[in-house]
Amino acid sequence: MNLSIRNKPLKSWKTSGDCHIFQVLNRRSNSYLIVAPSGNILVDTGKESSFSKLRQNIENLNSNNPGIDKLILTHAHFDHCENAFVLQKQENCQIYISEAEAEYAVAGCTPMPKGTILPTRFIIGLGKLLKLKSIPFKPFVPDVIVKADTDLSSSGVNIRLINTPGHSAGSLSVIIDNEIAIAGDAVFGIFFNSVFPPFGDNVKEVVNSWGKLLQTGCHTFLPGHGKAISRELLQRELDHFSRKLKKVN
């Protein structure tokens, strides 16, 4: 495969199963392109304002095959799916989303998540007070509704989709070759030595989902925001928050 990278090299990871994972957006939200022998899979789309950057990065990455065969959405918050409508039209790609998020995709709107730390609780509380609604996006109809943990290996790529709820009820993670996980907002990579999402509907479920992610063989967890997270850090955070939650209960 001829990879012609004309701009600054994108961050990338490679698995033993010959999947290349490129971070094709790293602004406010991350998007990742999985380049596998069987085709290109995009995970999350970023915001509408990042669309030309996303397009450009995918085209620069692989001028031989700049298309997208599948689009997997980790969840239906606008900053992850705002470009899904246009990509579906342009690429005719199959869109995968969990059952719990599908209705939001069709409605073009998702309920606001809760704040999990003091500053975000304040922001969300203020939003409610001002009767602000969550940010709408162009609605789209998903092609594949993921109802339970799903193995995509029949399509020629060793990828599993697992439910990792907590940030939102229908959050999904993408497990590639049991080595790398794209975990959406189940983990955050913006704080030093912490993976805790500042927004999320259910903290206990978030922590349970970390346990589920650690039950895979993955060594690296790629978040929806910020930098890659090591297995060691995620394990430390799981231990820390499990103790904290036990004290509360």
Would you tell me which residues interact with Zn ion (CB under 5 A)?
A: 77, 185
Listed residue (53, 61, 55, 80) closest to 10, CA to CA: 61
Q: How far is the CB of 185 from Zn ion (least distance, A)?
A: 4
Q: How far is the CB of 120 from Zn ion (least distance, A)?
A: 12
| 173 vs 183: CA distance, rounded Å | 4
Per-residue burial over 178-204, b = 16 or more CB atoms within 10 Å of its CB, e = otherwise: bbbbbbbbbbbbeeeebbbbbbbbbbe
Minimum separation from the CB atom of position 77 to Zn ion (A): 3
Q: Which amino acid is at 165?
A: P
**Which residue number is nearest to Zn ion in terms of Cβ?**
77
Closest residue by Cα to residue 207 from 220, 194, 217: 194
**Residue 44 or 69 with smaller CB distance to Zn ion:** 44
Cα gap 76→106, rounded to integer Å: 10
- Please report how close the Cβ of residue 68 comes to Zn ion at its closest, in angstroms: 21
Which of residues 47 and 77 has its CB atom nearest to Zn ion in the complex? 77
Between 82 and 185, CB nearer to Zn ion: 185
Distance CA 57, CA 152 (A): 25
